[in-house]
Amino acid sequence: MFYQKYIVIESLIEELHGMDLSNEERHHLSTLLDSSLHHAILDEILSNLSEPDKNVFLLKINQNPDDEKLMEFLNQRIENIEGKIRKVSNDLIKEMHKDIKEAKQK
């Protein structure tokens, strides 16, 4: 995904690897983590784009979700989009860290 370099999930991954989980369980949680981040970032982006730009964004991301030019497109339309992506992902990652901490006490 084009936003991958702005999110830092290593600490969460380390926590998951430190838990007593089967490969299937770890895979399931990791999929939830990836997809939750994806939706949180999508919401942030779409909330800051005009309707016509949303359609262009949709077209571009469907063509190549890894295309780094997507960030150029967003940068021209949203002020500090990189910071916004970082913030929304960091907030969610912090929440998920709390969830892991609670889970470990069960």
Partner 1 sequence: MNFTSKKPAFEHLRKRWVAKHRTLTNKVLEKHGSIGRQLALGGIGGLMLLATPGTGLLSAPHLLASGGQILKDKDTNILLANELSGKVPKEMRALNPQEDEEIAAILTKNFGFKIAPSLEGKRLNRTYGMIGGEQHLYRYPGDNLFQHGDNAVDFAMYGSAGIAPHLGAWGYFAPSQTEFSEKDKMRERYYIAVQTFLAPGFAERTAEYRDFFKFRKMVVVNPETGQSVVTDIGDAGPAEWTGKHLGGSPEVMNYLGLAEGPRQGAVLYFFIDDPGDTIPLGPVKVKDTQS
Local structure of residue 19 (DSSP, 8 states): S
The distance of Cα 81 from the centroid of its chain, to the nearest Å, equals 13
Nearest approach in angstroms of CB 15 to partner 1 is 10
Nearest approach in angstroms of CB 100 to partner 1 is 6
- What is the token pair recorded at 69? 């030019």
In the structure, how many helices (H) and strands (E) does the chain have? 5, 0
Nearest approach in angstroms of CB 73 to partner 1 is 14
Q: Segment 7-66, which members bind partner 1 (CB under 8 A)?
A: 9-10, 12-14, 16-17, 19-36, 38-40, 42-43, 46-47, 54-55, 58, 61-62, 65
